[in-house]
C-alpha cells in the first residue's frame, strides 16, 4: 500500500508544470509564454534533428506550439506535459518530411541486415561536434529512426507506432543507421 | 543487447546535443498566431471598433429589457405549469409524488458533490454534466407532456424511471471520481 519513493517523485515531476498547463487551458497568454520559454529549446532541437534544417524547424515549432495550445484540452495527464508536447513536435516534423516526399523507411536495402557484431568502433574519435555532423549527413529515414531511438528516448515499439511501421522494421532500420553513422565517423 | 561505444557516448552526453538556439522572434509569431485564433479574422480600426461598441451597447440595453420581459413571462408560465404537474402526479398516486421529491433532492445533492471537480478537471466535469443534462431534458419533455397525455400513470412512471437512471449515472460518476482520487493519492496501486 505504501507508495514507493520513486513513484512519489514521479508524480511530483508530472505535477510540476500543471498549474501552468491549467492557466494555458484558460487561454492565459502569460502562461503560454512561460510554457514556450521552458520547452522551446528542447523542442526546437528535436525538430531540427528530424527535418535537418534550422529554418524549416522554426516553422515546425511554430505550428507545433499553436497546435498544442489549441489542443491543450486534449492533454489528459497520462504522460508528462513535455512528453505530450514532444509527440506533437515530432508528428509535425514528420509530416513536414513526408511533404518533402521523403522515404522514411529505406525499402531498397530491406533484404540485407548488417551483423551487429561486425562493428569495429575502435579508433573512431568521438566528440559532440563530429557525431552531430555525422548525424546530419545521414539520409532522412536513417536519421529519423536513429534520433528517435538514441536522442529522444523512444523504444522500437513506440517508434514503430510513430512511423506506422512494424517494430522489426524500426529495429533493422536503426541497426543500418548506426552502421552508416560509424562509416561516416571513420572517414 | 549490449550498448555499443557510440550509444554510450550519445547517452552520456545527451544534453550537449541540444546545441541549437531557438531563433529570436519565434514567440512573436506564435503570439500573433494565437491572437488570430482568439479574435475574428479581419482587423477593424480603433474608430470603427468604438462605433461598434456604442452601437452594440444600445442593442444590449434593448436586448436585455426584452430578455427580462420574456424571462418574466416564462417564470410565470412555468411556475403555473409545474404546480399543475405536481398536482397531477399527486392525483395519479401520492406515493409516486413522494418518491419523485426524494429522488429530486438526492440528485441535487449528488450533482452538487460532482460540481466540486469542476475546477480540478473541467473537461471531465463537462462530460459528466452533459450526460445528466441530456436526461434532464428528456425529463422536462415528459413533464411538459403530462397535462395533455391520456395515460398519465404511464408517463409518471417514465418520469420516475428517468430520475432513477439519473441517480444511477450520478452514482457511477461519483465512483469514477473516487477512483481517480485514489489513483492520484496512490499511483502505484492499480485501479
> Residue A21 and residue A37: Cα distance in Å, rounded?
13
Whether A55 shows a pLDDT value over 70: the answer reads yes
In terms of CA atoms, which chain A residue is nearest residue B189?
A1
C-alpha B117 chain-centroid distance: 11
Half-sphere exposure of B19 (CA within 13 A, CB side): 12
The backbone torsions φ and ψ at residue B76, rounded to the nearest 5 degrees and listed phi first, read -60, -50
User: Residue A3 and residue B187: Cβ atoms within 8 Å?
Assistant: yes
> Taking all residues of chain B, what is their mean pLDDT, rounded to a whole number?
80
pLDDT classification of B113: cutoffs 50, 70, 90: confident
Whether A49 shows a pLDDT value over 70: the answer reads yes
Residue B7: CB atoms within 10 A of its CB come to 15
pLDDT single digits (tens) A68-98: 999 998 888 788 899 999 999 999 999 999 8
Which chain B residues are Cβ-neighbours of A178 within 8 angstroms? 4, 6-7
pLDDT classification of A150: cutoffs 50, 70, 90: very high
Most confident of A24-28, A87-91, B154-158: A87-91
* C-alpha closest to that of B89 among B167, B149, B146: B146
The pLDDT score that the predictor gives to residue A69 is 94
B87 found inside a domain: yes
Whether B171 shows a pLDDT value over 60: the answer reads yes
What is the average per-residue pLDDT within A121-149? 91
Whether A4 shows a pLDDT value over 60: the answer reads no
Instruction: Choose, out of B33, B125, B188, the residue to mutate when testing the contact with A (most A CBs < 10 Å).
Output: B188
pLDDT classification of A36: cutoffs 50, 70, 90: very high
B71 found inside a domain: yes
> Residue A53 and residue B115: Cα distance in Å, rounded?
49
B167 found inside a domain: yes
B181 found inside a domain: yes
The pLDDT score that the predictor gives to residue A8 is 40
Give me the residue spans of the domains in chain A. Answer: 5-99, 115-186
What is the average per-residue pLDDT within B183-188? 77
A-B CB pairs within 8 A amount to 88
Q: Look at chain B and report how many structural domains it folds into.
A: 1
The pLDDT score that the predictor gives to residue A64 is 97
The pLDDT score that the predictor gives to residue A5 is 40
Min distance A175 CA to chain B CA atoms (Å): 11
| A8: its cell numbers | 512519489
pLDDT single digits (tens) B8-32: 999 999 999 999 999 999 999 999 9
Min distance A21 CA to chain B CA atoms (Å): 12
Min distance A136 CA to chain B CA atoms (Å): 12
Domain A115-186 in the same topology as domain A5-99: no
> Residue B140 and residue B135: Cα distance in Å, rounded?
9
C-alpha A83 chain-centroid distance: 10
pTM of the complete model? 0.56
User: Residue A119 and residue B4: Cβ atoms within 8 Å?
Assistant: yes
Instruction: Choose, out of A4, A6, A9, A11, the residue to mutate when testing the contact with B (most B CBs < 10 Å).
Output: A11
pLDDT classification of A138: cutoffs 50, 70, 90: very high
pLDDT single digits (tens) B84-108: 777 788 887 888 888 888 888 889 8
pLDDT classification of B81: cutoffs 50, 70, 90: low
Is residue A3 within 8 A of residue B183, CB to CB? The reply is no
| B149: its cell numbers | 397525455
B7 found inside a domain: no
Chain A interface, Cβ < 8 Å to B: 1, 3-4, 7, 10-11, 25, 27, 29, 32-33, 36, 40-42, 44-45, 48, 54, 57-58, 61-62, 65-66, 69-70, 73, 116, 119, 121, 124, 126, 128, 131-132, 150-151, 178, 181-182, 185
> Is B131 exposed, middle or buried, given 0-12, 13-18 or 19+ CB atoms closer than 10 A?
middle
Is residue A92 within 8 A of residue A60, CB to CB? The reply is yes
Which chain B residues are Cβ-neighbours of A54 within 8 angstroms? 20, 23
Query: Regarding the domain delimited by A115-186, which CATH topology (the fold level of the hierarchy) does it fall under?
Result: Arc Repressor Mutant, subunit A (1.10.10)
B25 found inside a domain: no
In terms of CA atoms, which chain B residue is nearest residue A149?
B7
Is residue B25 within 8 A of residue A36, CB to CB? The reply is no
User: In which domain, by residue range, is B122 found?
Assistant: 43-185
Percentage of the residues of chain A whose pLDDT score is greater than 90 = 64
pLDDT, greater one: A103 or B71: B71
The pLDDT score that the predictor gives to residue B189 is 56
Query: What CATH code is assigned to A5-99?
Result: 1.10.1740.10
Amino acid at each position: 500500500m505504501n507508495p514507493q519513493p520513486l513513484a512519489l517523485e514521479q508524480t511530483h515531476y508530472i505535477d510540476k508544470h500543471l498549474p501552468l498547463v491549467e492557466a494555458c487551458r484558460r487561454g492565459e497568454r502569460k502562461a503560454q509564454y512561460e510554457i514556450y520559454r521552458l520547452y522551446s529549446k528542447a523542442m526546437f532541437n528535436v525538430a531540427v534533428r528530424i527535418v535537418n534544417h534550422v529554418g524549416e524547424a522554426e516553422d515546425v515549432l511554430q505550428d507545433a506550439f499553436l497546435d498544442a495550445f489549441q489542443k491543450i484540452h486534449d492533454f489528459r495527464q497520462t504522460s508528462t506535459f513535455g512528453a505530450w508536447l514532444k509527440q506533437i513536435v515530432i508528428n509535425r516534423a514528420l509530416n513536414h518530411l513526408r511533404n518533402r516526399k521523403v522515404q522514411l523507411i529505406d525499402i531498397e536495402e530491406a533484404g540485407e541486415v548488417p551483423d551487429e557484431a561486425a562493428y569495429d568502433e575502435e579508433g573512431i574519435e568521438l566528440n559532440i561536434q563530429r557525431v552531430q555532423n555525422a548525424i546530419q549527413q545521414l539520409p532522412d529515414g536513417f536519421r529519423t529512426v536513429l534520433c528517435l531511438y538514441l536522442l529522444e528516448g523512444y523504444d522500437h515499439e513506440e517508434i514503430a507506432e510513430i512511423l506506422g511501421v512494424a517494430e522489426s522494421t524500426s529495429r533493422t532500420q536503426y541497426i543500418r543507421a548506426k552502421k552508416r553513422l560509424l562509416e561516416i565517423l571513420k572517414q | 543487447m549490449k550498448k555499443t561505444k557510440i550509444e554510450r557516448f550519445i547517452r552520456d552526453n545527451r544534453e550537449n546535443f541540444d546545441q541549437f538556439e531557438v531563433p529570436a522572434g519565434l514567440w512573436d509569431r506564435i503570439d500573433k498566431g494565437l491572437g488570430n485564433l482568439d479574435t475574428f479574422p479581419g482587423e477593424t480600426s480603433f474608430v470603427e471598433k468604438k462605433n461598434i461598441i456604442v452601437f452594440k451597447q444600445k442593442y444590449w440595453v434593448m436586448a436585455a429589457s426584452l430578455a427580462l420581459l420574456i424571462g418574466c413571462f416564462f417564470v410565470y408560465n412555468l411556475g403555473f405549469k409545474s404546480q399543475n404537474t405536481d398536482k397531477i402526479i399527486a392525483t395519479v398516486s401520492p406515493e409516486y409524488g413522494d418518491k419523485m421529491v426524494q429522488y429530486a433532492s438526492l440528485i441535487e445533492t449528488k450533482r452538487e458533490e460532482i460540481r466540486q471537480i469542476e475546477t480540478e478537471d473541467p473537461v471531465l466535469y463537462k462530460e459528466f454534466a452533459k450526460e445528466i443534462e441530456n436526461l434532464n431534458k428528456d425529463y422536462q419533455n415528459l413533464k411538459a407532456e403530462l397535462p395533455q397525455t391520456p395515460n398519465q400513470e404511464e408517463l409518471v412512471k417514465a418520469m420516475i424511471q428517468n430520475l432513477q437512471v439519473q441517480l444511477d449515472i450520478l452514482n457511477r460518476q461519483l465512483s469514477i471520481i473516487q477512483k481517480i482520487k485514489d489513483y492520484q493519492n496512490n499511483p502505484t496501486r492499480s485501479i
